[in-house]
Amino acid sequence: MLNRICQVLSIVSFLMITSVIGGGYMGYKYVTSEQFKAKMMNEVLGNVQGLMPKILDQGLPKMTGPSIGVPKGNDWTSMPKF
């Protein structure tokens, strides 16, 4: 009787291990597939495109400051140092 229980548990254990390994392999193949990459890119770009107009409207200034003057002739000594 104990032998039969051990055999059944061994078979159940084997089935569980093979299903976990098979599921992991199939999950890895799906995540590394081109379809998954395209699906994720479409999802991310869809969310970002909805946010872009709001962020751009808040972040861009209405008016910029004056431009930096350009030295006349060969007077490079008055050029700002960076």
What are 1-42's pLDDT values in tens digits?
999 999 999 999 999 999 999 999 999 999 999 999 999 999
Could you tell me if 18 and 26 are in contact, meaning their C-beta atoms sit under 8 angstroms apart?
A: no
pLDDT of amino acid 7? 96
Query: Quick check: pTM over 0.75?
Result: no
Measured CA to CA, the distance from residue 9 to residue 82 in angstroms comes to: 75
The set of residues, in sequence order, having a beta carbon less than 8 Å from that of 78 and lying 6+ positions away, is: 71
pLDDT given for residue 9 in this prediction: 96
Alpha carbons 25 and 40: distance in angstroms, whole number: 20
What pLDDT, on a 0 to 100 scale, did the predictor assign at position 46? 84
Report pLDDT for 57.
66
Cα atoms in the Cβ-side hemisphere of radius 13 Å centred on 9: 6
